[in-house]
Chains A and B, each alone.
Chain A
Amino acid sequence: MQENERIEIDLFLEAIFRRYGYDFRHYARASVRRRLERLMMRSGAASIVELIPLVLHDELFAQTAIYEFSITVTEMFRDPDFYSAVRSKVLPYLATYPFMRIWIAGCATGEEVYSLAIILQEEGVYDRTTFFATDFNDQALQQAQDGIYPLNSIRDYTPNYQLAGGRNSFADYYHAGYQSAVMDPGLKAHITFANHNLVTDGVFGEMHLILCRNVLIYFDKELKNRVLHLLHDSLVYGGFLCLGTRESLQFTEVQEAFKPFDIKQRVYQKQNR
């Protein structure tokens, strides 16, 4: 029974890859299984194989399916202690560079990017920084670029902003409308939003800081290793890699290539060779 399920999942993912080029074949099975259950519910398919003709012949459904694998749930200042660590430990180190390049890989709808931009403004290094915010989901990227969020969720982020050591009032960073908040356009000035797929696209060179938080959790061990090599190759020596607070480099192929910089906040520094 478990073996049959594995075959069905393999065939479905193979179909998406061959037909549309999106490669989810090495995504974590636990989460793929859940996403497929949702697709089955939505389409009324009784089994995973029944999803295959749908995805091959119905491009609209295929688009839905592809976005289903892009789980864009995110928050501003998620894990405030992480942002405090960036502020008090990582930035003082990076501030010795004349300019800084930061890559936020898997930025979803942009909340993380704006959080980081706020921290850099407050620490007075924003003007020498270029941000690259990437994701493979164009819909999410568009929202990230627009920087417009529901007012009630923005309000929920206020305590986390303060816990992250915020120096101002969080309301200084957005213009509240009737139901939504528009992020201050000044925060966007140095951010480039771009489509980049971590599975199929290449190195994004010479970064000083990379955030790839809560993205590798969707990959299996093999793909996680492959993407970690890509992130490693995209960093300057001494550059920093930040993972989500429940992910680590332990038991990965790049473990030796980094040294833990703040192990609790999962900040790693690329070793000189």
Chain B
Amino acid sequence: MSDGYRAVIIGTSAGGTAALKVLLPLLPAGYPLPVIVVQHLHPLQNGAGMLQFKYSCYLPLAVAEDKGVIKAGYVFFAPPNYHLLFEDASTFALSVDEKVNFARPSIDVSFKSAVAVFGAGLIGVILTGGNRDGAQGLQCIHARGGLTVVQDPKTAESPYMPRAALERIPADHVLSLNDIGRLLAALPETEINAE
């Protein structure tokens, strides 16, 4: 169906930092896709959340910049107080327009923008969170034939966001953090084997 996975996008809010601390270190060095994290943070927390993963993660971490290049093998974080958009498959764009779902960055906004450029090659992941942001975005990824992954609400620090996503679509995978890590790590390979 898809002619290859092109990017992973992860949305999370409450409990997100602890969840990412488990998930991100499971991705191997040289990971062949860009990984983009959209996390609700306080506006003044400029990249501070990101530093917490620095020493446990095999992949280089960066805060997305306006018109910055999207590179495979990096983990990019949406900067607080901006919406993170996709100009094309290799270029970020930022916007400071109205909050969506009381959030900026909004996960819905980024997921929808990402699916417009990555199409069926997008892997969307919803982790722990205390609101409904991301559910609609994940539905868009599903509708375009992308792969949808949701943290099993039973295992989530805050199950509300995963549940809201599952109310909208039957995700392709509903898994614990460790299993999501293993799945993401293996996906690009399984695909090469299948070719």
Residues of A with Cβ closer than 8 Å to B?
A: 2, 5, 28-31, 33-34, 71, 73-74, 78, 80, 163, 214, 216-218, 220-221, 224, 244-248, 251
Given contacts A30-B116, A71-B95, A244-B96, 17 further A-B contacts (CB under 8 A): A5-B116, A29-B87, A30-B86, A30-B87, A31-B95, A33-B116, A34-B95, A34-B97, A34-B109, A34-B113, A73-B98, A78-B81, A163-B44, A217-B93, A217-B95, A247-B67, A248-B65
CA distance A247 to B93 in the complex (A): 10
A246 to B65, CA, bound (A): 5
**Contact residues of B between 43 and 59, Cβ < 8 Å to A:** 44, 46
Given A73-B97, A217-B93, A247-B65, A31 and B85 touching (CB < 8 A)?
yes
Tell whether, in the assembled complex, residue A217 and residue B66 are in contact, meaning their CB atoms are under 8 Å apart.
Answer: yes
Q: Knowing A224-B67, A244-B66, A247-B66 touch, does A218 contact B95 (C-beta < 8 A)?
A: yes
7 pairs, A vs B, C-beta closer than 8 Å: A2-B119, A29-B87, A30-B93, A34-B85, A71-B95, A73-B97, A220-B87
A28 touches B63 (CB 8 A): no
- In the complex, the 9 A-B pairs of residues with the closest C-beta atoms, listed nearest first: A30-B85, A30-B93, A217-B66, A71-B97, A28-B93, A247-B66, A30-B87, A217-B94, A246-B79
Q: Which of B96, B97, B113 has the most CB of A within 10 A?
A: B96
Instruction: Chain B residues near A220: list those with CB within 8 A.
Output: 87
How far does the Cβ of B171 sit from chain A's closest Cβ, in whole Å? 24
A80 to B63, CA, bound (A): 19
Contacts of B44 in A (CB 8 A): 80, 163
Task: List CB contacts (< 8 Å) of B25-69 with chain A.
Answer: 44, 46, 63-67
Chain A, residue nearest B98 (CB): A73
- Does B74 count as interface, using CB distance less than 8 angstroms? no
Q: How far is the CB of A67 from chain B (nearest CB, A)?
A: 13
Q: How far is the CA of A30 from the CA of B91 in the complex (A)?
A: 10
Across the two chains, which residue of chain B brings its CB closest to A248? Answer: B65
Tell me the minimal C-beta distance from B49 to chain A in angstroms. 15
**CB-based nearest A residue for B81:** A78
* Alpha-carbon separation in the docked complex, A71 to B63 (Å): 23
| In the complex, chain B residues whose CB is within 8 Å of the CB of A29 | 87-88
Flag whether B82 is at the interface (Cβ < 8 A).
yes
Asked whether A246 lies within 8 Å of B82 as measured between CB atoms, the reply is yes
**What is the CB-to-nearest-CB distance from A249 to chain B, in angstroms, rounded to a whole number?**
11
Residues of B within 8 Å of A214, CB to CB, are 96
- Give A108's nearest chain B residue, CB to CB: B96
The residue of chain B having its C-beta at the shortest distance from the C-beta of A218 within the complex is: B95
Q: How far is the CB of B87 from chain A (nearest CB, A)?
A: 5
Given contacts A2-B119, A33-B113, A34-B85, contact A245 B95 (CB under 8 A): no
A73 to B97, CA, bound (A): 6
| A167 nearest CB across to chain B (Å) | 21
Contacts of B75-121 to chain A: CB distance below 8 A = 79, 81-82, 85-88, 93-98, 109, 113, 116-117, 119
